Each structure stands twice: as C-alpha cells, then as structure tokens.
Amino acid sequence: MLNFLFFEEIDSTQKWLVEYLKREQTPLVPFCVMSDKQSSGVGSRGNEWESVESAILFSFAFSQSDLPKDLPLQSLSIYISNLMSEFLEKRGFEVWVKWPNDLYINENKIGGVITQSVREFCVCGIGINLLSSHFASLQTQMDKAQKEQFIREFLQFFCTYPTWSVILSNYKLKFYKNYPFSFHYGDKTLSFEDALLCEDGAIMIENQKIYSLR
C-alpha cells in the first residue's frame, strides 16, 4: 500500500524522505511525498532545482529488494529516468533521456531524476516542468488532483518493474540523441558522440568507464 503525503510548500521532498528513513526504525514504504513548491529542491549533480510557474515535484522511497534482479544499483537513475520517459511518451510527449538522468524535449531540459540509497531503501526524486516562462517545459497545466493522479499512475507503472535488459535495449535505440552534446569530466570536455553505452549503464569513452557526471 502506497503511503502518500502532500505539502503545499517544502524545502525539498528528497531531503524530507531521506531524513524520515534515517529517523524511523521501521519506516513505511513505499512512501511518496509530493509538493506544489520547493524552496531548496535538489537537482541533477547536486545542483539546486530552480522553481518554475508550475511543476510536478515528488520523491518516493521503496525497498531495494523490490528492484529487478538484473538492475545494477549504480544505474538506478538511468532506469527510472527511462521509465518516466516512456510514461510521458505514452501521454504524447516526445521526451528522451540525456545520459544519465535528465529529461529532455528536443535540445531542452524539462526535468530530471535523482536517486540515493538510505539503509536498505532507495529514494528517488523527480522534477518535471509543466509551465515556465524562462525554462523548457511540457507546456501543460495540472491542478493538485491531476498532479497526484499523474504521480500515482507513474508509480503503478514503476511497480511493474520492467527488467533492466528491456529498459537498456530501448535506451540504446535512443542514445544517439545524446551525440550533439558534450560534457565536462575532470579537466576534459568530452563528446557523447565518442561514447559507448555499456551493459551496466555506464558510458565508455577514451578507455574510461564513467558512471556519473557528478
């Protein structure tokens, strides 16, 4: 049974859930926290998630033991990002995943996914821009009830737990969309066009295996 908590405003749904899991000896999971606004939301690579006029903002916690047995835990963000991408595609949005965990439409970021482990649990935070005058978004409006329904339907989809091999196979077909982009790693600027997507979700480039851009 899903435990669901709504805040009109909170510093960060991710921080709230992480603190809850650390504090409670036997926490209730699965647990989802949703908020209309965040004052200190956590974005990709530890950056602060910048607020927009309207967004879907939520974090959810679940047991690591529920995940597909073939899923490398270090690729959980890639896995969930691709699940969200597929979920949005079924709703008519042409969303793809910029490796490893950013949600894009065309060349513009509209959202992202972060994950972390706490004890034997995983916490996943997702932010998706719905409307914004300054940033890319889905350009759609939802009220509180519609946002909650969206989240509940996504979590139902998540709980079907498609295997990692299926998700990775689908992602390989779309990985070429990363090619126009470059990224900083160490003291180098590298191009995704030179990267090979590996079976464990890492990328291989210049004989280096990279799991994260943090």
pLDDT in single tens digits along all 214 residues of the chain = 899 999 999 999 999 999 999 999 999 999 999 999 998 766 554 555 566 889 999 999 999 999 999 999 999 999 999 999 999 999 999 999 999 999 999 999 999 999 999 999 999 999 999 999 889 999 999 999 999 999 999 999 999 999 999 999 999 999 999 999 999 998 999 999 999 999 999 999 999 999 988 7
pLDDT at 8: 94
> Both ends of the chain: CA-CA distance in Å?
34
**Distance of alpha carbon 109 from alpha carbon 30, whole angstroms:** 28
**pTM higher than 0.95 for the full model?**
no
**CA distance to 20, 87, 113, 181, per residue, from 45 (Å):** 22, 23, 10, 17
99, two tokens: 């490796």
DSSP string computed for 183-205: EEETTEEEEGGG-EE-TTS-EEE
Of the candidates 143, 114, 137, which has an alpha carbon nearest to the alpha carbon of residue 15?
A: 114
**Distance of alpha carbon 140 from alpha carbon 28, whole angstroms:** 33
59, two tokens: 């974090």
pLDDT at 201: 98
Q: From its phi and psi, is residue 207 left (phi > 0), alpha (psi between -120 and 50) or beta? A: left
Cα 148 to the center of its chain, rounded Å:
17
All domains in the chain, ordered by first residue: 3-177 (3.30.930.10)
**Distance of alpha carbon 36 from alpha carbon 56, whole angstroms:** 7
pLDDT at 128: 97
pLDDT at 52: 84
Cβ–Cβ < 8 Å for 104, 98: yes
Of the candidates 90, 91, 88, which has an alpha carbon nearest to the alpha carbon of residue 113?
A: 88
pLDDT at 1: 86
Contacts with 181 (C-beta within 8 Å, 6 or more apart), sequence order: 98, 191, 192
**Distance of alpha carbon 3 from alpha carbon 101, whole angstroms:** 25
